[in-house]
Structure 1
């Protein structure tokens, strides 16, 4: 069998050796937004595991755009230098291409890391004022302050500057975070955006600021490198952002030079009712892929089975599968998937002796137990 999961794919001038992407996963372990030895070990290990692409966690464009005080930012020379150290290590020893997700938490900021409860920070814990399209709180969090147009322009510039830093660091690909209830998603959803100006109301208006941000980021990012976006295709709440609107948003993004849509769901409203099951988000990405005619990445309970991941790609439901928690559980997930599917894949140079095909040569007297 020729594995589709382990077939190469090219976006602009970037060729990935397979369709496996390690999903961006917040680590809540940065120091004043800067990466440290944890990230060196975490991302360094993942970069050696043979996924075609490893994505760095949601990295915010401002300190007050973080989810928690321990979240990553890319808004200072110190942030840039610390992250470059990590990415340089991954390039030296790993085999994966490296991408980064850039975002702003909006009204979901100023909270504790999940391991500490995930509640809104108190003043004693260093809480900061959050912002959003409207003064509508996220659950029982404090209400954000509605952004002015001048502040929106400042945020566009902050996103542009983060992109410039990502290019200097040497990333191969970037992704704007437009899902999971963070700032861009807040503008898209009528549940969080009840503005009465040109940025609220109709879908065209709700898309306006997200598209402005994307356009500025794409203009700053080199033309030969791919850029995409993570989108929550549904809020799973009546009256929220929905799959029909997600398709139209994807079409508008494609017209601005978007190269892929990373399709997820939810995260905006505590009332969401999500029918969790293996691959439960795949149909949303499949629809966007077909109707907007754009490559998609599918994420969400996929990594439990190499066969499931293979079927998603082989049947044309997505162009990439994203592995998150399963990559944490097994950083060599792609090696094991290749072995299961009878495919070949890359091994980090220092780990080449681990290839199953070489074991009989290296250990000719080894016999498997009866």
Structure 2
């Protein structure tokens, strides 16, 4: 077997992921009152059998007003645990570590779903708008609703909400959690020098702007078992002058490491609209993961239009990142892990699949061979038909 990094296990505290392929979180906007639905069970079940090592579920709000849309999943209620637990158990049964991304949308909440235009909800919509909060009374863009600035007491309550959400994530059986600090959502808004205009301990200097993301991360780490990892997703740059850039990201990552955050999930963008609408190329964010990894020593996740197995392997072999996250590529190709094993010369590609899939794929691998030159051909007058006989 060719020695590949992609299919080398990775140790995450006391847990071990069987390979370096991770499902990236992708909002489905199919929840009802924050509860997962049958859609989620079918959606996440597709990836459980596809050969990945870790799966990170979509952005999940820690309070109702922290949702992007009414269709976002939530974990502010004990009743929401059971549905999430079914998904975590499905992954466990298939040897995949699962995690939940904890989030608050801030001023980017109370919107229509993306395919309905993603515009702010109004009183005339079927789904009613809800309270928008942010570091400061600064709208995301001209014409957007102006959020209300969080009070100090509300910030304390928010930290408690993350703490309680972490407890519920553990009750649901997840192996890790991720604090969402990027893509223009609330914690990123606090980090941003343009969105955060506060004059108290949470605003002004970068040190102050980092205070809430660090405080939330500390609370999550303290509530999460010490033998299980905590990830942090950041926008390593948001492409806005004076907001938050790679130098700031390196400083934040170093502080997160001191708090016991295990992995930095390196994305970009979000302050100029949804990061998912940016024009990109394969691997456009890898350099940020590489720099953070090199300067802090923290393991990183590379994400962003990573399509081909050979490219993923090259990223890992170069030391730019430790985990490869795939989102829309897995939507298009849930069994990408199997294709990667074939492409990278795995001695038993079907072994990355569940046994009951692997059995049939191994049988096919053993049966396929080039067509013999002397094999007779049939024709129907339009298409040439060829028999393939086993030796």
Same fold judged by TM-score > 0.5? yes
Matches within 5 A, 1:161-200: 161-200=164-203
Matches within 5 A, 1:173-252: 173-252=176-255
Residue-by-residue CA offset, 1:148-169 (whole Å, 9 max, x unaligned): 0100010001001111001011
TM value normalised by structure 2: 0.90
Higher relative contact order (CA 8 A, sep 6+): 1
Match of 1:147 in 2: 150
Range that drifts further, 69-78 or 81-90? 81-90
Match of 1:24 in 2: 25
Residue-by-residue CA offset, 1:258-310 (whole Å, 9 max, x unaligned): 100000000123499966221010001100000011000011011x2111101
Distance of 1:131 and 1:300 partners within structure 2:
29
**Any conservation in 2 of the 1:280–1:300 contact (CA below 8 Å)?**
yes
**Any conservation in 2 of the 1:109–1:130 contact (CA below 8 Å)?**
yes
Range that drifts further, 76-85 or 65-74? 76-85
Matches within 5 A, 1:99-118: 99-118=99-118
Match of 2:265 in 1: 262
Larger Rg belongs to = 2
Residue-by-residue CA offset, 1:178-224 (whole Å, 9 max, x unaligned): 00000000000111101111111111000011111110111000000
Distance of 1:143 and 1:212 partners within structure 2:
25
Compared CA separation, residues 367 and 63, structure 1 to 2 (3 A): farther
Match of 1:83 in 2: 84
TM value normalised by structure 1: 0.95
Match of 1:134 in 2: 136
Equivalenced residue count is: 366
**Any conservation in 2 of the 1:48–1:95 contact (CA below 8 Å)?**
no
Unaligned runs of 5+ in 2: 373-385
**Any conservation in 2 of the 1:65–1:105 contact (CA below 8 Å)?**
yes
Match of 2:283 in 1: 279
The alignment yields a C-alpha RMSD, in angstroms, of: 1.9
1:350 counterpart (353, 356, 361): 356
Unaligned runs of 5+ in 1: none
Match of 2:334 in 1: 331
**Any conservation in 2 of the 1:95–1:347 contact (CA below 8 Å)?**
no
**Any conservation in 1 of the 2:183–2:274 contact (CA below 8 Å)?**
no
